[in-house]
Structure 1
Amino acid sequence: RQCLDSVENMDLHVGDRCECKPIRGLIGTGFYCVQVGAMVRRMGLPFAESNNPEELNKLANETWITCLLFSRTCCMLVSEDLEEPVAIEDEMQGQYAVVFDALTGLADPPCEDRGAIFGIFRQLTRGPPRMDDVIQPGKQLIAAGYALYGAATTLMFSIGDGLHGFTLDPSLNEFILTHENIKVPYTGHQYSVNEGRTVLYDERTREMLQALKSQPSLDGKKRQLRYVGSLVADVHRTIMYGGVYMYPQNKNNPMGQVKLLYEAAPIAFLVANGGGQALTGLDPILELVPTSIHDRVPVFFGSEDDTNFCTGFYRASKPIDDPMFTLRRTASIIEYSKNSILDDDDVEEDGIL
């Protein structure tokens, strides 16, 4: 409800759109982000002696499930931390299936910038909830978002007609619209990947990483590696400043690492609504239909030019093998640089924001 007021102020008229009226109860996810964000700060500075990532993750998951259950708007809940979905029936049942990762960035050691990811589907079946209600492609999401618990609590949210950013005002305990109609830059000079796993990547991925180091971005700048190790934090920086975030498949994770249903699909929905690209390397993530709730996929999120450049190495004919590619790209860089009004001084280099 706190988030809803800000959404309606964007002239999206959420309450007046027939397909969005029942989402009013679900937009309270902003409130869950406030609660979990408070827990992260109270319990979870990464290097504090009292930090217990497992306990924090359990509390975050329980908070989301409890709040969604008593919202009476949901029929099925899928959590990253539960093997099976939670079916909601009888008087508590609503008409939406919610998929979520209640707290990301809990690696060992845990990342300082943690977050949460969620997506909302409409129930497909009538009566008691069934697995078909959540086994849907990302293109059928009706809303998605993520929260970032960094220096401030940030909520990125979309109902399918644009990407909007909210920042929590602690004095009001409400989310304020701070970034309206966010557009992912067409190109960027930052790439985000765990290069510590290079030895596990296949030849195509290693060749692509080498090309990123040797080829300038479309704005003519030398590319720079930026990698926090938290999915939400790295994706947030990529959305705001351009470039590409990737988690390719490797020998340890041949199907990829990122969970399709409650991580890759919601983020792909947000990136697409900001004008960016979201691919597995060959396929659009939003087109993929999960075979189970915990399916994994490789992911490439970000600026259209950079994402297409990276995923080109997974196609039969790689762009770098085209003798005309360098010539065309050089001409494009010159033309883009002439038309660009962005200088080096205009780009903040502070890690995430």
Structure 2
Amino acid sequence: MPEVTVTEHLLLHQKLSPHATGMFTGLLYDLILSGKSIAMRINKAGLLDVLGGTGMVNVQGENVQKLDDIANHILLYRMERCGALCAMSSEEEPDLIRVRPEFPQGDYILIFDPLDGSSNIDVNVNVGTIFSIFHRPEGGSGEVRLEEVLQQGCRQVAAGYMLYGPSTMLVLSTGQGVHGFTLDPGVGEFLLSHPNMQIPEQGYIYSVNEGNRQNWSDASREAVDWFHTTRAANGKHYSSRYVGSLVADFHRTLIYGGIYMYPPDADKPQGKLRLMCEANPLAFLAEQAGGKASDGYGRILERQPDKLHARTPLFIGSRRDVEAVEAIYARYPR
């Protein structure tokens, strides 16, 4: 069977997707090139003195790792020059980033987490770049307004992530299913390795940080207890797996099924995860793969962000497992 590169795959599917224009394909090409550059630095992290923190704190109140900063700068530099974007938003930047007038501009908006899970990188745990792509609303002209960027996740034209681990993978959807590509370092190309990825209807793994249990609401505790006591699809009790790197936990959930949960708690009543750069792109992938993503009370992709770094609870994975959580939350007032 011939090896299909990600670019070839996109070109083959252009007729199926109204968004797969030449400009869109060029955008993804530069995004993938950025991912290859980040992967190279991560693979050599222990040799290049780029482990550990910078001593700075980002807009989220989190300590910035050196590789956070490197990945962020790679993406900002490359993507501002790609010619397809009018604006960007990064988890590491407090404000909307408008493409400067000296660079060619397009009608796409890129929102990304440059290096999710970076607090684990010193112990060699999988990390990744999560991205979301929107089209600027019709009629938009001149300088991009924040209101044009604050779109519901259901309006994404593409989303995905690059997972840096034993192998580097790109998992991508342009609204025509979910496909996985593995980087072949010998040829420097992402090759199609996981076509038409599907989340099982019900899984056998639940993933949550139970160290936060004392701060959870009654609804959250009951939801997690449900997985303690219920039989999974294989007839056995659910297993618990939690990496603590969102992109790694989601990737396992995408392949094996089950559910990843990050409930709200007393310290973070709005949730911890960022709606636009983390929850929305993963929810898009989950739905395209036959799964589901919820904040406990409703569909993640229908949430209207009120600010660039809006937060949300997240329950994502196999459809039946997410619906079980929603049924429990329905008995509690929002």
The answer to whether the superposition gives a TM-score over 0.5 is yes
Q: Residues 46-195 of structure 1 correspond to what in structure 2 (within 5 A)? A: 51-53=51-53, 54-90=65-101, 91-107=103-119, 110=122, 112-124=125-137, 125-195=140-210
Q: Residues 1-353 of structure 1 correspond to what in structure 2 (within 5 A)? A: 3-8=6-11, 11-13=12-14, 18-21=18-21, 22-28=23-29, 29-43=31-45, 51-53=51-53, 54-90=65-101, 91-107=103-119, 110=122, 112-124=125-137, 125-316=140-331
- Equivalent position amino acid for 2:113 in 1: D
Alpha carbons 1:3, 1:31 under 8 Å: kept: no
| Identical positions, percent | 34
* Matched position secondary structure for 2:190: strand
Alpha carbons 1:61, 1:102 under 8 Å: kept: yes
C-alpha distance in 1 between matches for 2:207 and 2:276: 22
**Residues 82, 205 of structure 1: alpha-carbon distance in 2 compared, 3 angstrom cutoff:** same
CA shift, 1:17, in A, is 5.0
* Matched position secondary structure for 2:44: helix
C-alpha distance in 1 between matches for 2:49 and 2:300: 39
CA shift, 1:4, in A, is 1.7
TM-score (norm 1): 0.84
* Equivalenced residues, count: 312
Alpha carbons 1:138, 1:285 under 8 Å: kept: yes
How far does the alpha carbon of each residue in 1:214-244 deviate from its partner, in whole angstroms, 9 at most, with x for none? 1111331210000000000000000100000
How far does the alpha carbon of each residue in 1:62-90 deviate from its partner, in whole angstroms, 9 at most, with x for none? 00011101101110000000000111143
**Residues 267, 50 of structure 1: alpha-carbon distance in 2 compared, 3 angstrom cutoff:** closer
* Matched position secondary structure for 1:23: helix
Alpha carbons 1:119, 1:143 under 8 Å: kept: yes
CA shift, 1:210, in A, is 1.7
C-alpha distance in 2 between matches for 1:300 and 1:148: 20
CA shift, 1:7, in A, is 2.9
Alpha carbons 1:122, 1:133 under 8 Å: kept: no
How far does the alpha carbon of each residue in 1:139-169 deviate from its partner, in whole angstroms, 9 at most, with x for none? 0000111111111001100000100000000
1:323 matched residue in structure 2: none
**Residues 35, 224 of structure 1: alpha-carbon distance in 2 compared, 3 angstrom cutoff:** same
* Matched position secondary structure for 2:118: coil
- Equivalent position amino acid for 2:88 in 1: L
Alpha carbons 2:17, 2:175 under 8 Å: kept: no
C-alpha distance in 2 between matches for 1:44 and 1:299: 33
What RMSD in Å do the two structures reach over aligned CA positions? 2.0
Alpha carbons 1:32, 1:64 under 8 Å: kept: yes
* Matched position secondary structure for 1:278: strand
Return the structure number with greater helix share. Answer: 1
TM-score (norm 2): 0.89
C-alpha distance in 2 between matches for 1:295 and 1:110: 28
C-alpha distance in 1 between matches for 2:275 and 2:17: 29
Alpha carbons 1:120, 1:142 under 8 Å: kept: yes
CA shift, 1:107, in A, is 2.4
C-alpha distance in 1 between matches for 2:281 and 2:259: 17
Unaligned runs of 5+ in 1: 319-353
C-alpha distance in 1 between matches for 2:182 and 2:120: 28
CA shift, 1:20, in A, is 2.0
- Equivalent position amino acid for 1:92 in 2: P
C-alpha distance in 1 between matches for 2:17 and 2:292: 27
C-alpha distance in 2 between matches for 1:69 and 1:317: 45
Alpha carbons 2:162, 2:168 under 8 Å: kept: yes
**Residues 44, 205 of structure 1: alpha-carbon distance in 2 compared, 3 angstrom cutoff:** farther
Q: Which moved more, 1:305-314 or 1:232-241?
A: 305-314
How far does the alpha carbon of each residue in 1:180-232 deviate from its partner, in whole angstroms, 9 at most, with x for none? 11111001110000011111111121122222111111331210000000000
**Residues 58, 49 of structure 1: alpha-carbon distance in 2 compared, 3 angstrom cutoff:** closer
- Equivalent position amino acid for 1:51 in 2: L
